[in-house]
């Protein structure tokens, strides 16, 4: 009876801790893919300087494939969408303007 309980507690702890171990297991893969992406982007620049379109296209394709794989495996490396960033900045600006204008349009907020 005691061994079953200990075994079930051990299994429960392993199941609860598995996401923690899974998140750190990909860390080295994420770093490796980041280095590979940088290398292929550098190769694409070199190919452009040397007027070699086949090498440039192959390097860009490989960098894009690695970026897609890394984004799926390592969400912390995803680049934020520039449209979403611009919308967030605009929303922050509108919120700040509304906060500054509120005392003038709503009676009783002049003292805040």
Q: What is the pLDDT of residues 79-112, one digit of tens each?
A: 777 887 888 888 999 999 988 888 888 887 665 5
Q: CA 71, CA 79: separation in Å to the nearest integer?
A: 9
Looking at residues 1-15, what average pLDDT do you find?
Answer: 65
Q: Which residue has the tokens 């003038």?
A: 104
Residue ranges per domain, the chain? Answer: 2-79, 81-112
Res 6 pLDDT > 80: no
Q: CA 99, CA 68: separation in Å to the nearest integer?
A: 41
């Amino acid at each position: 009876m005691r061994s079953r309980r200990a075994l079930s507690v051990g299994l429960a702890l392993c199941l609860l801790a598995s996401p923690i171990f899974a998140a750190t297991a990909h860390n080295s893969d994420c770093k490796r893919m980041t280095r590979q992406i940088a290398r292929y982007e550098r190769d694409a620049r070199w190919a452009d300087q040397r007027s070699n379109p086949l090498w440039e296209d192959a390097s860009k394709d490989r960098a894009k494939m690695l970026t897609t794989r890394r984004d799926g495996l390592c969400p912390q490396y995803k680049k934020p969408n520039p449209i979403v960033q611009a919308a967030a900045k605009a929303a922050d600006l509108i919120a700040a303007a509304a906060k500054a204008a509120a005392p003038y349009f709503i009676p009783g907020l002049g003292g805040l």
